[in-house]
Chain A
Amino acid sequence: MKSAVITFPGSNCDRDMDVALKKFGFSNKMVWHQDVELPKTDLVVLPGGFSYGDYLRCGSMASKSKIMQSVINFANSGGMVMGICNGFQILVETGLVPGVLLRNKYLEFICKNVFVKISNKNNSYFKNINKNILELHIAHNEGNYFCTKDQLKEIEDNSQIAINYCDPEGKIEEPFNPNGSIKNIAGIFNKEKNVLGMMPHPERMIDPSLSGDDGSIFFKNLINNLK
């Protein structure tokens, strides 16, 4: 399976993502933001970091960079595009997924492990995954997902919520919401479910000696689904 990770100026999880994808069998290519065309690929990943220093608005400048037109075309033709953390922020700025990401409720950067419940397995990202709750890691300042009431209704009607913050047993309640996101939303799909944006970093949880190993479950399942 082929994957492509886009490097924007200020991306800083691009290498980590490259390491993770390769570990689970992807043949990954790094793509520079000023390139015009994507290489032939089965998956595009927009990595975490601080593209363009988060200036103006997180993800906003990156969403206008040269390569993004190809990424948008790729997504619109059904290609799989996954945005993690800053990548998620870029995705909302392109409009590929609905909503916005505001500053965390308590106005502080948060770096810690969280639990998320998979809300929709009827897609290529989570299909066949053998767990309902994953322990993943977040590290962000602007992960507070927000959308209008109408948008929320549409999102729910179309089952676009991918994952919600929860407790280890899967309870989706306010105390387990780290950043103030509406409905504890941690990740969301586009209508067609080929585009996924999420705040947690599965690529930081790919080895038992790290903060956890549930990222491995995610990636192993992902590559199997793509095969």
Chain B
Amino acid sequence: MIINEKIAIDHGLKKEEYQKICELLKRTPNITELGIFSAMWNEHCSYKSSRLHLKKLPTKGKQVIQGPGENAGVIDIGDNDAIVFKIESHNHPSFIEPYQGAATGVGGIMRDVFTMGARPIANLNSIHFGSTQHKKTKNLLRGVVHGIGGYGNCMGVPTIAGQTSFDSSYNGNILVNAMTLGLVKKDKIFYSKAAGLNKPVIYVGSKTGRDGIHGASMASASFDDKIEEKKPTVQVGDPFTEKLLLEACLELMSGDSIIAIQDMGAAGLTSSSIEMASKGNLGIEINLNKVPCRETKMTPYEIMLSESQERMLIVLENGKEEMAKKIFDKWNLDFAVIGKTTKSKKIELYFDNKRVADIPVNTLVENSPMYDRKWKKAKLPKKNKIKKEDINNLKIIDVLKKILANPNICSKEWIWSQYDHTVMGDTIQKPGGDSGVVRVHGTNKAVAASVDSSAVYCWAHPLTGGKQVVCESFRNLISVGAKPIAITNCLNFGSPENEENMGEFVECVQGIGEASSYLKFPIVSGNVSFYNQTKDQGIKPTPSIGGVGLIKDYSKMITMDFKEVNNIVLVIGKTEGHIDQSLFARVILDEKNGPPPEINLFNEKNNGETLLKLIDSNLIKSAHDVSLGGIITAVSKMCIKSNKGINLKKPKYLINEIEYFFAEDQGRYIIEISKKDQKKVIDILDKNAVHYDELGTINENMLFLSQKSKVTIDELKSSNTNWLIKYMSK
């Protein structure tokens, strides 16, 4: 086949990119080489539109062992323990084939973590679907949940937290972001940098098939009417093989024979071999006839571009092949020496004794395109004046029940009860709280993790939205008593070639960077998913932030359920009455405009750190951050979790109760304290200049504002829990 511009364009490359390839090679590439370039230079693998901006993110910190650039980030949690974690998107395949798309998303992220030597100890996910009225939503939701469960449950890794939202902007592009945390000894972390010449390059895991060819390219383009035809680009997962691969890899890793290891994720054998060579400043030579194949007559092109799952590439010390093979034989997995490291700094592929590709590694990596895309700065929208007559007639309890039953706030138990969240026997806070928490096996320590996103805020004002998501993650960790350490981000956006979408990306990243830098909450890993777009319609900007924190003594962990009748409930942080972009504004007032709530990073940090001090002094009985739906929604959830009620006081300021109770001002937490501790708590809050209001006292079973305005917790509970169950059973 003679390669020309048209074939290159069919591979998703731009005309100029094809010309650059010819210049770099000083010749026309052959089909295998073109395939390799298209896989390495697509948006998904090359970060060509995002690199410039991602560079600005804060990635360093006292506890950071490994920042972005490896398979996952690594943080130090003391005592020679480290946590490896990352979040990754699997949006495009999940829309085309929800079960397999979601399942392989979970499989891929777990591989990223155990590639580094860590045993996965927790999974999380952030999933976003179109309008609940849209005809595809129900099936997509069911398929994605089954897929996530199908893979994670079989692996025996608990799914401890997550987030689900519905918004019509995802009608044609759902989001499936999967996150995994793994535990490793600090001195047993494995990296992907190859080293040494003539070291054997080993292929282990499943055989290579024709599935997922061009998966990464598919994920680097918008959808059109013909997406059904893209089904063959979706990979098929086999969690059983991955479980074997996990055990076999960890067994091999307990020795010292591995020089470098890299999982075959997006762009399969291509990106894994090239990344290892590039990081080690070496060449790699591979004999493709040695690659274990599932199907007959696979061409070099297909072998290099296959995204078959559950495969790893290892650079081994010489002479360790037999020992390593024994381990993989024990686990019934393929093991093949397929090549070696060379000094050529080229990727050289042989097939049927012919050289079928010969590409300098740097042309694929350092010389890959990088774009400074045009972008548009977003203006801060004007504040809406809420008309008194719009809210004067509202009954607060009716509004509350409506809010609690809203798809974006209702209980997601239908989802997480399908995920095994207790396997491994260390889950001490299950889904449904502010963060999931697992113990560090055999110690008094526990790790908390949460995943958050606020697409509506990001859409209204990307810079503020970007900051808000980081703050929300910070709060969710603090609410369970964990000290926030670091984050991973999954940046889901529309087309970078559209100035507005690109602007959303740039400003969200800026916001994330500012907040993460101020809160000393660095970003250690992540991924970018662009082209979440169908024809001209992009999704709302949706950066998902996965936060990880440490609880040094898990007996001090906090949960959100109220503990004891007559205890006092406070809200810390100031309530200004910000209604624009709140759930109340959207659901009750049908108002979609206006700015998101402002972020004050000083207050955010001060309020959070003060609460941690209170928790550490054993003064807090329960805590919950205030987010979607405001104070009264947060309090209701604490009531529902505990089957206890609250006597709510009238606010002392903001005469309008609705504004006080439903506003989504930031930096706030609800806390429960006992009467005897009240003075101590208030002294500490005052000393640290933290604003607080007394909200009320806990009672047996009623949310009580006045004789005219009260509701039983059972009633609130049924509003909150029934919606999703009913929706999915229709």
Binding site for B on A (CB under 8 A): 9-10, 12-13, 15-16, 19-20, 48-50, 52-55, 108-112, 137, 139, 141, 201, 203-204, 206, 209-211
The answer to whether B238 touches A139 (Cβ under 8 A) is: no
- Best-surrounded residue of A13, A54, A55, A111 (most CB of chain B within 10 A): A111
- B331 at the A interface (CB under 8 A): yes
What's the nearest-Cβ distance from chain B to residue A141, in Å?
A: 8
Could you tell me the distance between the alpha carbons of A10 and B243 in the complex, rounded to whole angstroms?
Answer: 6
- B423 at the A interface (CB under 8 A): yes
- B430 at the A interface (CB under 8 A): yes
The answer to whether B240 touches A10 (Cβ under 8 A) is: yes
From A49, A108, A209, contact of B428 by CB (8 A): A209
- Given the known interface contacts A206-B425, A210-B422, A210-B428, the answer about A111 and B154 at a Cβ–Cβ threshold of 8 Å is no
The answer to whether A13 touches B156 (Cβ under 8 A) is: yes
The answer to whether B424 touches A16 (Cβ under 8 A) is: yes
From B149, B154, B417, B425, contact of A210 by CB (8 A): B425
Contacts of A137 in B (CB 8 A): 422
The answer to whether B332 touches A19 (Cβ under 8 A) is: no
Could you tell me the distance between the alpha carbons of A12 and B247 in the complex, rounded to whole angstroms?
Answer: 11
Contacts of A19 in B (CB 8 A): 425
What's the nearest-Cβ distance from chain A to residue B436, in Å?
A: 13
- Given the known interface contacts A13-B156, A19-B425, A20-B425, the answer about A139 and B420 at a Cβ–Cβ threshold of 8 Å is yes
Binding site for A on B (CB under 8 A): 146, 149-150, 153-156, 238-241, 243-244, 331-332, 416-428, 430, 439, 554-555, 557
From A16, A20, A52, A111, contact of B240 by CB (8 A): A52
Could you tell me the distance between the alpha carbons of A20 and B424 in the complex, rounded to whole angstroms?
Answer: 11
Could you tell me the distance between the alpha carbons of A47 and B418 in the complex, rounded to whole angstroms?
Answer: 20
In the complex, residue of chain A having the shortest beta-carbon distance to the beta carbon of B153: A109
The answer to whether B244 touches A16 (Cβ under 8 A) is: no
In the complex, residue of chain B having the shortest beta-carbon distance to the beta carbon of A17: B425
In the complex, residue of chain B having the shortest beta-carbon distance to the beta carbon of A55: B240
Contacts of B156 in A (CB 8 A): 12-13, 49-50
The answer to whether A53 touches B425 (Cβ under 8 A) is: no
The answer to whether B427 touches A111 (Cβ under 8 A) is: no
What's the nearest-Cβ distance from chain B to residue A55, in Å?
A: 7
The answer to whether A204 touches B331 (Cβ under 8 A) is: no
Could you tell me the distance between the alpha carbons of A19 and B425 in the complex, rounded to whole angstroms?
Answer: 9
The answer to whether B422 touches A12 (Cβ under 8 A) is: no
- Best-surrounded residue of B150, B423, B425, B427 (most CB of chain A within 10 A): B425
Of the A-B pairs whose beta carbons lie under 8 Å apart in the complex, a sample of 21, sorted by A's number, is A9-B243, A9-B244, A9-B331, A12-B154, A12-B155, A15-B424, A20-B425, A49-B156, A50-B243, A53-B239, A53-B243, A55-B240, A108-B418, A109-B146, A111-B419, A139-B420, A141-B153, A204-B425, A209-B554, A210-B422, A210-B428
Contacts of B555 in A (CB 8 A): 209
Contacts of B421 in A (CB 8 A): 111
- Given the known interface contacts A12-B156, A53-B154, A209-B428, the answer about A109 and B243 at a Cβ–Cβ threshold of 8 Å is no
Could you tell me the distance between the alpha carbons of A114 and B240 in the complex, rounded to whole angstroms?
Answer: 27
Could you tell me the distance between the alpha carbons of A117 and B326 in the complex, rounded to whole angstroms?
Answer: 47
The answer to whether A111 touches B331 (Cβ under 8 A) is: no
What's the nearest-Cβ distance from chain A to residue B555, in Å?
A: 8
The answer to whether A53 touches B427 (Cβ under 8 A) is: no
Known: A9-B331, A12-B154, A50-B156; 7 extra A-B contacts, CB below 8 A, are: A9-B332, A48-B423, A50-B240, A54-B240, A139-B420, A139-B422, A209-B554
Contacts of B420 in A (CB 8 A): 109, 111, 139
- Best-surrounded residue of B422, B427, B430, B557 (most CB of chain A within 10 A): B422
In the complex, residue of chain A having the shortest beta-carbon distance to the beta carbon of B441: A19
The answer to whether B422 touches A111 (Cβ under 8 A) is: yes
Contacts of A13 in B (CB 8 A): 156, 423
Could you tell me the distance between the alpha carbons of A53 and B244 in the complex, rounded to whole angstroms?
Answer: 10
The answer to whether B423 touches A12 (Cβ under 8 A) is: yes
Contacts of A110 in B (CB 8 A): 417-418
The answer to whether A211 touches B427 (Cβ under 8 A) is: yes
The answer to whether A111 touches B417 (Cβ under 8 A) is: yes
Contacts of B426 in A (CB 8 A): 210
Contacts of A201 in B (CB 8 A): 422
The answer to whether B239 touches A50 (Cβ under 8 A) is: yes
The answer to whether A54 touches B154 (Cβ under 8 A) is: yes
Could you tell me the distance between the alpha carbons of A211 and B428 in the complex, rounded to whole angstroms?
Answer: 7
What's the nearest-Cβ distance from chain B to residue A206, in Å?
A: 7
In the complex, residue of chain B having the shortest beta-carbon distance to the beta carbon of A51: B240
Contacts of A211 in B (CB 8 A): 422, 427, 430
Q: Which 4 A-B pairs have the closest CB atoms?
A: A12-B156, A53-B240, A16-B425, A50-B154
Contacts of B417 in A (CB 8 A): 110-112
In the complex, residue of chain B having the shortest beta-carbon distance to the beta carbon of A11: B156
What's the nearest-Cβ distance from chain A to residue B232, in Å?
A: 23
Could you tell me the distance between the alpha carbons of A50 and B155 in the complex, rounded to whole angstroms?
Answer: 8
From A9, A108, A203, contact of B425 by CB (8 A): A203
